């Protein structure tokens, strides 16, 4: 694919995953697709009324992109089970990662969840959580992890990844390089975890390394400051962590995604425009913006301007677009929707 022929706006749009209001295609959603040319949308409970409605929404947004000459959309959701599950009944309900006992349970969760998501046109699950929470530690993600043993988390997590992706649902492992030993919620403020790389490699990074070996489609970066790795920027904005460690040292070739850039960890300490500029510097592929269409527009304009100002930034943008489009080529071949659950 010749990305040199793409405009700055097209390259910028492919680097955005946007949330939106509404349960049916509306002016705001159409604008995200046709004007801002976003590469991905993310769904929340606010966008879901019923399976048939959700299937119609996903069909309509893909048709909108197709009719305006845009690539197919990544349509993502957080469907971990348990505490974080955006799809309620009649979709299948699971108690979450702590209740998964073995690989059979993990494979069952992945297969059923993939079928539910695929039946309505969702093609990416922002799961599994690969954080490791030590036994007895009051981890911020204690209710969302597979356990306290890195090898067990790696085994169960990669089983979920393989199960999702074997059923054509892209999997995004999170929250790199690990938030299992933090207690502060990054929705509110900036957590700090003071460990060096050797400590992280022996514990927190074990499941992520395994996920990379399984060719996980994406990895989400955490909004945590790791001062021994980067004293200035959290992982979600860090060139050292995103480019040097994740890409170069661990060899990850998939799509790197930030956590939501409207969280307190970013907005209270860095500001939105600073964060977007840092996403570019760190070669992060997709910026996640979950709520404000205005901020999506700001991000697209800023990224497009930076691409136009620098051949180096443009080359990196083309590399990011290539990674995003490689996933779309692999996973988003046109297929009819399966039977809708509960219909």
Catalytic machinery residues: 187, 259
The secondary element (H helix, E strand) that includes residue 8 is: helix 8-13
DSSP β-bridge partners for residue 220: 174, 257
Residue 289 has what DSSP assignment? E
DSSP β-bridge partners for residue 257: 220, 286
Buried b (16+ CB within 10 A) or exposed e, 24-46: ebeeebeebbeebbbbbbbbeee
For residue 340, what are its two tokens? 């809708």
Return the CA Rg of the chain: 19
The secondary element (H helix, E strand) that includes residue 227 is: none
Taking alpha carbons only, the member of 11, 34, 29, 8 closest to residue 325 is 11
Give the CA angle between residues 8, 247, 286 to the nearest 5°.
Answer: 35
Instruction: Let me know how long the chain is.
Output: 343
Residue 240 has what DSSP assignment? I
Distance CA 187, CA 332 (A): 31
Distance CA 252, CA 255 (A): 8
């Amino acid at each position: 694919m010749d990305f040199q022929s793409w405009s700055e706006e097209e390259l910028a749009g492919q680097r955005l995953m946007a949330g939106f209001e509404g349960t049916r295609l509306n002016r705001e959603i159409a604008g995200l697709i046709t004007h801002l040319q976003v590469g991905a949308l993310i769904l929340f409970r606010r966008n879901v009324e019923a399976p048939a409605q959700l299937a119609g929404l996903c069909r309509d947004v893909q048709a909108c992109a197709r009719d305006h000459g845009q690539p197919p959309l990544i349509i993502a959701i957080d469907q971990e089970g348990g505490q974080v599950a955006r799809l309620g009944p009649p979709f299948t309900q699971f108690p979450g990662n702590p209740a998964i006992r073995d690989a059979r349970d993990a494979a069952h969760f992945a297969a059923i969840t993939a079928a539910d998501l695929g039946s309505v046109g969702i093609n990416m699950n922002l799961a599994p959580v690969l954080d490791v929470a030590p036994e007895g530690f009051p981890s911020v993600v204690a209710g969302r992890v597979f356990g306290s043993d890195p090898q067990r988390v790696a085994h169960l997590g990669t089983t979920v990844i393989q199960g999702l992706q074997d059923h054509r649902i892209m999997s995004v492992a999170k929250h790199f390089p690990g938030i299992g030993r933090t207690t502060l919620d990054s929705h509110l403020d900036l957590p700090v975890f003071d460990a060096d790389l050797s400590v992280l490699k022996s514990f927190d990074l074990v499941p992520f390394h395994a996920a990379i070996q399984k060719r996980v489609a994406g990895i989400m970066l955490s909004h945590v400051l790791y001062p021994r790795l980067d004293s200035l920027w959290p992982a979600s904005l860090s060139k050292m962590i995103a480019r040097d460690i994740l890409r170069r040292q661990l060899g990850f070739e998939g799509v790197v995604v930030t956590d939501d850039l409207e969280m307190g960890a970013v907005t209270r300490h860095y500001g939105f425009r600073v964060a977007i500029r840092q996403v570019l510097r760190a070669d992060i592929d997709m910026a996640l913006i979950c709520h404000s269409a205005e901020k999506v527009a700001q991000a697209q304009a800023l990224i497009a301007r930076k691409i136009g100002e620098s051949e180096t930034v443009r080359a990196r943008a083309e590399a990011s677009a290539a990674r995003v489009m490689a996933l779309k080529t692999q996973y988003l071949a046109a297929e009819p929707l399966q039977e809708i659950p509960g219909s």
